[in-house]
Structures are given as structure tokens and as C-alpha cells.
Amino acid sequence: MKRDLLRLTAAEFLGTFALVFVGCSTRAMVGETTNFAGILIVHIAFAFTIAAMIYTLSHISAAVFNPALTLGFAVSGRFPWRYVLPYWLAQFVGAVVAIGLEFLILPEKALAVHFGATTPKAGLFPALIVEIVLTFLLMLVSMASTTDKRFKRADSGLAVGFVILVAGLMANSISGGSMNPARSLGPALFAGGSALADVWIYVVGPFLGALLAVGVYQVIRGSNDHTKDVLEEPPDEEKSTLERKQGDERREVAPAATD
């Protein structure tokens, strides 16, 4: 099926918008806190939203919602380079519009938490390393779920959602656990100050982590027979099962016919 670029970018805009709006608005509602329950609620909001959007939009745009992953897929050779800039634009605009709406409906609460901006809480270097490592893990999962035929598409939302959740909880007091340049740049543009000055961490770190993960997964994947393109529809499981059964039946009948 021919894919229209407008539909692809619309899906990326909507998915990134949902991720940033729900996650950062939840952050605004919870407020500044060191209470584990509040921190858990925020990262559950991000994780559940990304899982829902993957299930909703992955059959349209592959549900990338992340400029770092977009570049990683292109470098892997499994995503068209001509779509990289349109995807980036849709993702960044989705994040900015999400924060604009958050400011419109929760102005005081959003200001109090710097619009949900991610900032290094344990120094620049630890934050950068954490963003590299966590995005590496996210990209590794994404490479498997999006470019490997052996991965069941039905598991992709949960797999990515769980990575977002546990990575966010682990990195909350170090880097904030962004793993996504669009998710960090949107709030930083509104917050300004140190949030905008340090946003490079959330661009450089995720891009490096994603590129490293692409190289590693390409090595450990094994045969290229298992590889598919990001925008390629995975084979229908019921159809594949039926074809395998028919093939087995033909192989069983062949020897009998020879005899």
C-alpha cells in the first residue's frame, strides 16, 4: 500500500503531541516532588501514553515519535532518508504544540514545574551518560520491534512502554529520563534559562545512544532474512501460520506420491 507522507507526518505529530502533552501535564499536576508515588505517576503517564499511541498509530507511521530513533532507523538502512526531515518536523512541532496547550490550560502549574522540562540534576556528565545508555536500550528494543520479522507487533507497545517507565524511574534524579530530543526541546523552549541552555544534553545523548544501538543490533540480529523495513507491514500471523501448515502438508504428500 502506497503511503502518503502527509498521513505519516500527521500520525507522528499526533503521537508526539499526546506523549508530551499527557506526560508534561501530569508533571504539572503532580508538581515539584521527591515523593516516589508522584514520580511514579508521572513516568506511568509517559509510558502508558507511548504504548497507547504505538498500538494506535504504528500501522500508519511505525509510531516513532522520537527524532533520535528516526535517525537511527535511517542509518540502519530500514527507513527512507527522504522522510527523516519531515518526521523530525512533525515530532518537534507536536511537542511544541503540546506544551503550548499545557500552558494555555495550566499556566501557573506549568510554570511551577518549568513546563515539565528535563534538566540535569546530578551534573552534566552523569546526565549525558545516562541519556546515552537509556536511549541505547530504547533503540535496541525499537530495532527489534520495528525491523525484525520475528518480533510480534502485538508486543511492541508494551515493550517500549516498559522501557520508558523503568528508564524514567531510574533516571528521574539524574537526567529526568528524556531519551527524546523532541520531548525535551518543547518544554525547554517555553521554560528558557538553564533548561534551554542544557537542552543539548537531550539532543546529543539520545542521538549517540540510538546510533550505538543500531550498530549493536545489526551485529547480533543474525541473518538478514529476518529483517524488514520500518514502514513495511509485518506478515499477518494467521496467514503465515496457514501457509506454514499448507507447506508442511505438501511436503508430507510429496514422498507418498513418489512411492
Model-level pTM?
A: 0.87
Residue 147 has pLDDT above 60, yes or no: yes
Q: Phi and psi (nearest 5°) for 217?
A: -70, -35
Provide mean pLDDT across the span 127-136: 97
Angle between helices 156-171 and 124-147 (to 10 degrees): 170
Express each pLDDT in 21-69 by its tens digit: 999 999 999 988 888 899 999 999 999 999 999 999 999 999 999 999 9
pLDDT top residue among 147 and 239: 147
Residue 118 has pLDDT above 60, yes or no: yes
Of residues 159, 146, 2, the one with CA closest to residue 76? 146
Which residues form the domain of 135?
A: 5-258
pLDDT in the model for residue 91: 98
Q: C-alpha angle with apex 60: 82 to 144, nearest 5 degrees?
A: 80
The Cα–Cα gap between 148 and 78 comes to 10
pLDDT in the model for residue 1: 42
**Any idea what the CATH number is for the domain that residue 214 is in?**
1.20.1080.10
Domain count, the chain: 1
The Cα–Cα gap between 227 and 229 comes to 7
pLDDT in the model for residue 238: 44
Q: Look over the chain and give the mean of its residue pLDDT values, rounded to a whole number.
A: 90
